[in-house]
A and B are shown apart, each in its own frame.
Chain A
């Protein structure tokens, strides 16, 4: 078979091109330290990956699914783990989305990051290449074990990317927070994995499980998703993670890292459909997060934080749809959201680059200075708001339709309300940043260079038209979908979107002092959750650490010093101290041995 028509070959290229670039950057410091060649190498790897991924879409369309796996670790009797590539409609389409967004982000970064010193610049692109590899390894995983490995690597590289400005304390802190919140949740993944293996003897996506085991395993996996996909109550790391470079936010917090959680559920759908309890929990958590995060997005002053909370909210939509048992709805929304949210983040990055501030108060009237950025941002915002005809409309409609009639229409109502809020906060950003009078800082703003606006245009296209490929996607993943504009859900959803936009124009359109906004500020208290977590995890970890450090330093050493000072003459203090300490050690050994012996007797 011609290699270019071999799905496995293409998938392998998509997987290995980025890691090849990353490894070259690691072993060739002189390339990395020069900056620009590093960016070139990274982007070259991504172009290869994207080309392979796009070709793979067509090949998959013709040839269907393909699976390639080699025994990774064999037990005595049968292979317990395989490594390989699994190409089906879901993974091939996700692969294409991930590669496209990653490439756009990398190209955008070339100009965005050009003030970095060359070393930092090279390091940045090395991280990017490594991240793309991790993500692709996750997406193409033929079983949960490889997915877990990819998942962990995604977590690790996202930590590096979010904390890229490590010299800035808030960025370092945000990276640590993101890492720990997701890490906490990852324990669920590992535990689910262990349970799955013990129950079935393998790590298959499609294992058949007992009802209780199914609920247990899927709940544990869902815990990991709650962390990675920033669902309530583990969502708090996402807004903080905006400390990273803006293109990183576009990559991680739109299309890849946070989407990995949702993708995991889509992938493991055969497991989740066996656990109705888990799905119900997912539905409610998703719906609640959608509303809750949308409320918080209303009151943010930082343009990136609006987008961050918006991402939480939209991920809530996806999780709710998955909870309603409609994996395709969730996956479709994942795909369209990846495009328009990446677009919004990059456009926001372009604005921040021009204004040198994240604060909406420093922006205003940018449409005159940055017409192209404004146009693309508007497209992204309208798509996100769910204006009929744009990509976001179709997928959001499908999510909402999947909830029709469930639980007395309550979740449906929540998401409808959230749709209104979504349109409202995006309208608010549009009014404050792009329309109205020019603010002081915005006076010197100018349109971004082509290398930055190019990716915006590229992403704007699918943000508009991706919705029309719904049936193609459905066909590829083995489902059925037909777009429709008439019916209860589409009409109410469209009305909500329009109402939200109009309301925001009414509030923010003319006067920017925003009296009504003051009333909404109260919602900011909702971030009490954030503080609670902060208190919990920081106090717990740092508290334990400092208490033990104190014990180590003062109790153990202190006892010894105390003995030293009180029992012997000065000068022999150190020797006396050793005796004291040694005695303690011996006491511990004796007590330990006695304890162990007693344990034996009791047992």
Chain B
């Protein structure tokens, strides 16, 4: 997916650090998870976002293999098993780092979760852009909910039940197609976001573009959740 832009940093030891000073020997640590002088593991800051933690830029297209490779590299570096004979402090840091790494990997691995997370990170600037509730979609969902109730109450052997079932099947197909369309639209927005990040401009136009992309992404992600919920309900009821 991401062949043109190889953003992966070479070694896991070249990542931005939480502390500028080693907790153990007080020497300066520059951009490493391990102190150069005393070789002690350093804690990953809670402030550090998952992209930075994994050494990836804030882009929405991530090569899953690259991410996995990075995850394994860092897992090996932090794994509590390798700290069993070390001090209590080091053990606790290794545990904390491993936990953070696992969450970071889980979040970034899934494209939707990755986008949700990015929106959270970038929300500062777009917080005041409230998403408008999609009234038509809500109306549709509530109506469908009524039909589902009707179907649940209907005698399974009756003609009415069969009619309702085929109606729900049609709805399901349509909603699933819509879900796919939303995912396609999201992919396009992801690409737009990445292109904008790569250009790295700081103009008003770039900022406006950035807000537009984020807001649009927010809307689609929300609508996708609504649609996904009703589809799940449909699937559970009619199959």
- Chain A bound to chain B: no
Binding site for A on B (CB under 8 A): none
Point out residues on A near B: beta carbons under 8 Å. Answer: none
